[in-house]
Structure 1
């Protein structure tokens, strides 16, 4: 599924182009994960003031209210001056004076939700439990270590939970743990301060590098201009089961944690 870098890459690919656009109409197709929350045509006449990201959510700030968009497991956004007639998996169109924003989502686990504000109950339900942003200044190394000391679960699971730091999904958790030399099965509470500092830096580095590479295209991800990402071409461990470690040459191992695949090197990540 699209992770934080892919969502940020998507945001960057259309945020400047849609800012200031006046909404002319909106169309909802088949039901998505959550209801829109108002008649789509009630959006007509409103203005898109900007596009932000919170974790894996995109927030379209309107002059009245906010639209929360989530790409789910297989969703993608396109923004163009015009779009062909909606196809089977095109479930939301926002027609504006500067182009059409379209959500394509074959599995329909994504969502478009309207809220009067970020303090509205539905917005708080979706965003209120999210941890700090890993690429922002609020991601403090000391606070990160203090939060890990309170968790006995394996560090990979703690990172995926998203309440300590948001958006470090499956791909990038494996990559950051490799870079920090930490085994994914180690209890978060047992990670020393020096090692937590390395992990803190690794999370920032891996996510920033992924954004710079356009994200990862493992199946069908593309940004709002239809461009693929290339981070997966330089992944150190993710999806490389049995292949030699790029550092020590040992075979990369794959295990299951919480029904998710975890990749690591038994030599470079001794504990």
Structure 2
């Protein structure tokens, strides 16, 4: 699933492709991608200009004229690419925005898990799941004090706590595994038992990892591509994710992989301390 660095990279690569373009027509080949009223989506968008593209956590916020926003979540394998209306349709192309300049933006999603919602700009937290999310990494709200207090209220394990998006938003399986390893915290540690100094270290590692991964244009380990069809670069820097059975680069112990609520989780049994 694209995580915060990948979605930010998609945002940055989409802007020069579509900003300032006016939508002429919308085609829904698979209407379920749109979670709001389909007819409203089809009839309201023609004539609207793409003003800008913002992001919160893993959500793209496509800003349109007349105070409208398309909230787009890529889920597992969603991708956008610029093409032309007469280009052959890929079997996984599900939504097409045709522009007045003769180009078209297509949304492609192998698993069909991605979703779009058309809402009034400014109502993101009221009208979508964004309102349930915690603060982003590197935001003023994601402070040491906030993180320590939040984890003290969590009885479940730290892996699930970081994945649920309510304590900190934008992390997924890749960056959770990496930052827990960097911080020396076992993924099954009880979140509320982790010492304050380790929580601070974890917060620093989350912020730094997200910053570096964004600079590297995200991580491609399966199918992630940006809006230009380019892969990320952070996969070359991964230390634990995808490296189960290999030697830990810190201590040489063989990295292990377990399932945590169905999610593959790689860790070092020596370096990462269990807090219970």
Sort the TM-score into its range (normalised by shorter chain): over 0.9
d(CA) in 2 for partners of 1:231 and 1:120?
A: 30
Partner of 1:61: 63
Distance apart, 1:27 and its partner CA: 1.2
> Does 2:171 correspond to 1:199?
no
Which deviates more from structure 2 when the two are superposed, residues 59-68 or residues 91-100?
Answer: 91-100
Which deviates more from structure 2 when the two are superposed, residues 13-22 or residues 137-146?
Answer: 13-22
Q: TM-score, normalised by structure 2?
A: 0.91
Q: TM-score, normalised by structure 1?
A: 0.93
Q: How does 1:126-165 map to 2 (within 5 A)?
A: 126-165=129-168
d(CA) in 1 for partners of 2:60 and 2:86?
A: 21
d(CA) in 2 for partners of 1:270 and 1:119?
A: 42
Secondary structure, in 3 states, of the residue corresponding to 1:68?
A: strand
Distance apart, 1:117 and its partner CA: 3.2
Secondary structure, in 3 states, of the residue corresponding to 1:128?
A: helix
Instruction: List alignment gaps of at least 5 residues for structure 1.
Output: none
d(CA) in 1 for partners of 2:208 and 2:51?
A: 30
Secondary structure, in 3 states, of the residue corresponding to 1:143?
A: helix
Partner of 1:29: 29
Partner of 2:90: 87
Contact 1:83 1:100 in 2 (8 A): no
Contact 2:246 2:254 in 1 (8 A): yes
- 1:83 to 1:256, Cα distance in 2 relative to 1, 3 A: farther
* Equivalent residues, number: 270
Distance apart, 1:192 and its partner CA: 1.5
- 1:197 to 1:258, Cα distance in 2 relative to 1, 3 A: same
d(CA) in 1 for partners of 2:48 and 2:172?
A: 34
Q: How does 1:220-235 map to 2 (within 5 A)?
A: 220-235=223-238
Instruction: List alignment gaps of at least 5 residues for structure 2.
Output: none
d(CA) in 2 for partners of 1:175 and 1:10?
A: 22
Partner of 1:176: 179
Cα deviation per residue 1:45-81 (whole Å; 9 max; x = unaligned)? 1111110111211010112211011112121111357
Partner of 2:3: 3
Partner of 2:42: 40
d(CA) in 1 for partners of 2:28 and 2:144?
A: 43
d(CA) in 2 for partners of 1:15 and 1:31?
A: 25
Secondary structure, in 3 states, of the residue corresponding to 2:179?
A: helix
Contact 1:26 1:44 in 2 (8 A): yes
Cα deviation per residue 1:4-23 (whole Å; 9 max; x = unaligned)? 21111111111244222222
**Backbone CA RMSD of aligned residues:** 1.9
